[in-house]
């Protein structure tokens, strides 16, 4: 029967090709306008009537009425797929050149489908351009991006050449998913199976203009095809299962009837056996009752009972004797133990006196030692305190934090020296000498650092005065913060600076701080100019004075970010290895999130280990814009 269906399909195809053979000489435009609608009816008749395939369509309302201006895409399972595409979507399709020598290939060629030779790579671009041209001008062409049929029904990775060109030409894509044809005519087989149900789900249009890159567009198309296939499979399973359950239920009914009949016959046999056993038992009970009534048997049982009673009496007597013996031995053992305990208790006062006397001696010796040490400690503590005060007085102004650290270190040194005096009285003088030397060094260092801080402040004031000029620069404090904003291709950028250096660059305005207007500040003008040059693609390096803020554990990572070349990318793991071997990529991610100077310190050039884009303070869209800007410049 299946062979006859396949033979009928081949004969029907040859017959139609012979009748419509004249259409080969028509131009493609007329083929697509006149022959393709007729071919869709022919494909429907061939699939449903001759091959006996029941075609179920879901989402047909998504098919555009114009049938042009887009490209159609689906998965590929079987040689029957083009029939479903032609009958349901009314679209010609890409067909392998090797299939042109088959009856189905002749029909596809007459209907306006485009053939491609996969062994020749040079002409692929022309074929892709032809597909887009035909889809735009006359009728949407259907393509199978997997390139070949799936042997197990799973969607293979899409070949992206055609879809990338579709994205460049800004064409939308109609997404659909097929299921069931892989059961009718699987890959690697030329025999039709008995299952005759095929489902096609039309998911809808995916617009290329909604995506910023071709890869994102293709990923979305692939995802939508997967969802369409999933829906088709669920419809196939529901309709296929309903038929199978009916057949199974009929088979189960007959099985249950046979089992019930067997149980009925076995139940009858069990009932007969039980009745026979009960009659036998009743007769045995009657016999035993008659034997018990015999007087001789009664005498024997009474004699046996009295013998058992006597044996029990003798055994209890023996047990009582053994128990009394055990009791006596335990009492004797307990008496010995109590005697020993009394002797030990009598000896306790003597031992306790000895222990008390020795303890008093130890306590007295400890008191003497502590008195000596305590008498010496106040003098040395005073000397330590005086030297500490002198060194603290020299530290002032802008280095209060350093003086606090010195004071803490002095107190810890004092505690440590006192403990050392207690443990090693002979070494206290040496410890004292080393501590006084360190205090002197600290005093000298603090004086030197105070002078350098004062010099830096003087330089900063002179720079801020020259930068501000006529805008009242003489009255500017070096700690005053200035704010200004800049509109760019990635949105508004907020700039914060002090008189002569940048403080931060962010995508949101810092809240909770008071700022002065920084429009006319020289450093902000310089930053805005260099950022505008970067966004135009004419600048690759920044020449700006800024300082690293925050935890110093991220400074090395930020410095390594600056060294990433313009237009190149690096993974979080690779950058971490450059800073410190075995650094976890998450530490690099945290440092990138705390970057005070995005764009200038190019944390947008760091990508995931798999090549995908990962977190960015300005959003993944802006990260993609910056990377594309650098690649295209």
Q: Tell me the catalytic residues.
A: 603
Q: Left (φ > 0), alpha (ψ -120 to 50) or beta: where does 157 sit? A: beta
Whole-angstrom distance, CA of residue 5 vs CA of residue 192: 8
Q: Is 45 exposed, middle or buried (0-12, 13-18, 19+ CB in 10 A)?
A: middle
Comparing CA positions, the residue from 38, 88, 96 lying closest to residue 58 is: 88
Residue 226 tokens read as 């997967």
Instruction: Report CA 484 to chain centroid distance, whole Å.
Output: 39
Residue 295 CA: distances (Å) to CA of 93, 130, 290, 299, 306: 111, 121, 11, 6, 17
Distance CA 32, CA 93 (A): 11
3-state class (DSSP) for residue 94: strand
CB contact set of 8 (below 8 Å; sequence gap of 6+): 50
Nearest-5° Cα angle at 258, 252 to 260: 100
Half-sphere exposure of 535 (CA within 13 A, CB side): 17
Q: Nearest Cα to 71, choosing from 92, 43, 95, 97?
A: 92
Question: Cα–Cα–Cα angle for 318, 321, 326, nearest 5°?
Answer: 125
Residue 435: exposed, middle, or buried by beta-carbon count in 10 A (0-12, 13-18, 19+)?
buried
Residue corresponding to tokens 């197990």: 152
Place of tokens 């020598």: 101
Q: How far apart are CA 613 and CA 620, in angstroms?
A: 7
Whole-angstrom distance, CA of residue 518 vs CA of residue 471: 11
Report how far residue 138's alpha carbon sits from residue 90's, in angstroms, rounded to the nearest whole number.
Answer: 12
């Amino acid at each position: 029967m299946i062979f006859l269906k396949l033979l009928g399909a081949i004969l029907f195809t040859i017959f139609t090709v012979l009748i419509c053979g004249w259409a080969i000489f028509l131009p493609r435009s007329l083929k697509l306008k006149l022959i393709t609608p007729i071919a869709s009816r022919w494909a429907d008749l061939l699939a449903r009537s001759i091959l006996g395939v029941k075609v179920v369509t879901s989402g047909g309302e998504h098919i555009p009425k114009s049938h042009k201006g887009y490209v159609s895409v689906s998965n590929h399972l079987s040689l029957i797929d083009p029939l479903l595409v032609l009958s349901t979507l009314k679209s010609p399709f890409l067909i392998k050149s090797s299939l042109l020598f088959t009856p189905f290939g002749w029909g596809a060629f007459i209907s306006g489908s485009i053939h491609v030779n996969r062994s020749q790579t040079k002409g692929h671009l022309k074929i892709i351009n032809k597909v887009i041209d035909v889809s735009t001008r006359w009728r949407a062409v259907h393509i199978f991006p997997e390139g070949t049929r799936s042997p197990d029904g799973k969607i293979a990775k899409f070949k992206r050449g055609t879809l990338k060109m579709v994205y460049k030409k800004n064409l939308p894509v109609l997404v659909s998913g097929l299921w069931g044809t892989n059961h009718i005519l699987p890959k690697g087989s030329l025999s039709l199976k008995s299952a005759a149900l095929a489902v096609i789900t039309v998911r809808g249009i995916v617009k290329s203009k909604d995506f910023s890159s071709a890869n994102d567009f293709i990923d979305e198309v692939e995802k939508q095809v997967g969802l369409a296939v999933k829906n088709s499979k669920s419809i196939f399973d529901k309709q296929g299962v309903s038929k199978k359950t009916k057949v199974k239920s009929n088979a189960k009914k007959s099985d249950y009837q046979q089992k019930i009949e067997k149980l009925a016959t076995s139940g009858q046999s069990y009932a007969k056996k039980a009745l026979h056993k009960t009659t036998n038992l009743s007769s045995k009970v009657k016999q035993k009752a008659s034997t018990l009534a015999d007087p001789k048997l009664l005498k024997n049982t009474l004699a046996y009972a009295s013998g058992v009673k006597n044996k029990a009496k003798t055994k209890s007597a023996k047990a009582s004797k053994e128990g009394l013996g055990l009791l006596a031995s335990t009492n004797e053992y307990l008496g010995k133990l109590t005697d020993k305990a009394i002797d030990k208790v009598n000896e306790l006062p003597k031992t306790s006196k000895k222990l008390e006397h020795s303890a008093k001696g130890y306590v007295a010796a400890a008191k003497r030692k502590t008195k000596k040490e305590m008498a010496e400690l106040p003098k040395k503590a005073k000397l330590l305190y005086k030297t500490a005060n002198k060194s603290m007085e020299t530290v002032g102004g802008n280095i209060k934090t350093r003086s606090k650290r010195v004071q803490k270190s002095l107190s810890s040194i004092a505690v440590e020296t006192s403990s050392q005096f207690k443990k090693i009285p002979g070494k206290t003088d040496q410890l004292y000498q080393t501590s006084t030397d360190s205090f002197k060094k600290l005093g000298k260092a603090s004086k030197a650092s105070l002078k350098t801080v004062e010099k830096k402040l003087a330089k900063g004031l002179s720079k801020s005065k020259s930068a501000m000029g006529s805008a009242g620069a003489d009255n500017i404090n070096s700690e005053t913060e200035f704010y200004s904003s800049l509109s760019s291709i990635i949105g508004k950028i907020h700039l914060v600076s002090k008189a002569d250096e940048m403080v931060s660059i962010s995508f949101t305005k810092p809240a909770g701080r008071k700022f002065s207007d920084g429009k006319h500040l020289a450093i902000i003008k310089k930053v805005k100019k260099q950022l505008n040059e970067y966004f135009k693609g004419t600048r690759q390096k920044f020449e700006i004075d800024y300082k690293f803020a925050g935890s110093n554990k991220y400074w090395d990572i930020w410095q390594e970010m600056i060294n990433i070349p313009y237009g190149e990318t690096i993974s979080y793991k690779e950058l971490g290895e450059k800073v410190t071997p075995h650094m976890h990529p998450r530490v690099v991610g945290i440092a990138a999130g705390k970057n005070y100077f995005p764009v200038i310190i190019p944390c947008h050039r760091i990508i995931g280990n798999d090549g995908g884009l990962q977190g960015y303070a300005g959003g993944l869209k802006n990260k993609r814009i910056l990377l594309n800007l650098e690649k295209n410049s």
